[in-house]
Chains A and B, each alone.
Chain A
């Protein structure tokens, strides 16, 4: 069961990576890095159970905190600088 979960998480990671590479707008990329942090956390938790060392679960929890803080900081940074304003006419932004 843990092996199936690990494979599913790896496939999700690959899909998120494709979206992060292709992502036409900035929102795709922010979501990609946020989701990738979540998937890394889940992978660490699953790996802990695969190896029979479930104490990795604590580390996965701390990862969740770091990921949350990083995403909030990116969004806050986004709000206070003027790179959020598109320089061309596209309302989705040009980045």
Chain B
């Protein structure tokens, strides 16, 4: 049996909704003594030992607020809000349980998002507002309900003629964010010290224009980063990857007559945990150069095409017109 350290198993890669340890610090409620339950049962509701429907007794309402709040946070947004209707015991819980707001697959529109942010007291765990009208996004992001946000996802319309600027307020959650997905916008050019995300594990930018300096500042300012996905992102010619934590880096590009600056060179300078360096879509016409200087745990690189201009792995240089499909037996994504 190994005796090394004990990182919590549940990882955001598997489940972005996992609550932080900060929300689960309550302790020392003895379970084995049923009389104890009466000490924290709100007086406004009498004990309800047995459901009249003849099912299980209502034991769940005996759990402390914090645990019920944790359960509510795991629920989809509408289901969570509807728990207020269950009983007077449950009524106040939703508005103080960490908010899990995701509009994906629901009928929640911009007006409903505003209603939710004014009804809920915060803090928030997840705010995912892709695929709705985002005129009010900057105002939403300023709401104190979203304090301590861990997961932020938004995407403007991909049909817009010109990409809007990303709202500056999105950067106010830098210290707590663990999962980020920004789509169809221009990343602001701000000072490098404004781009550190100390707890960020997963970063996805889709159709985002970002300068080389900003992208490198973000990568340098995320010491916990596990995966990065850049899909159809432009504005940088050269990408240098240096990260002590990064496990997976994936790039999606496609050829089209764009006026934006296209990526031409990827240099993996030092990435001791990098296992997967992936590319999807067709590479730009110019002939991409990829150099891997130090990535001792790299297991998978791909998909490479004949249009790759040059690939350097350590001191080994491959020139164009052949494709390396895989370095080991693992399937390509």
Our verdict on whether A and B bind, yes or no, reads no
Q: Which residues of A contact B (CB under 8 A)?
A: none
Q: Could you tell me which B residues sit within 8 Å of A by CB distance?
A: none
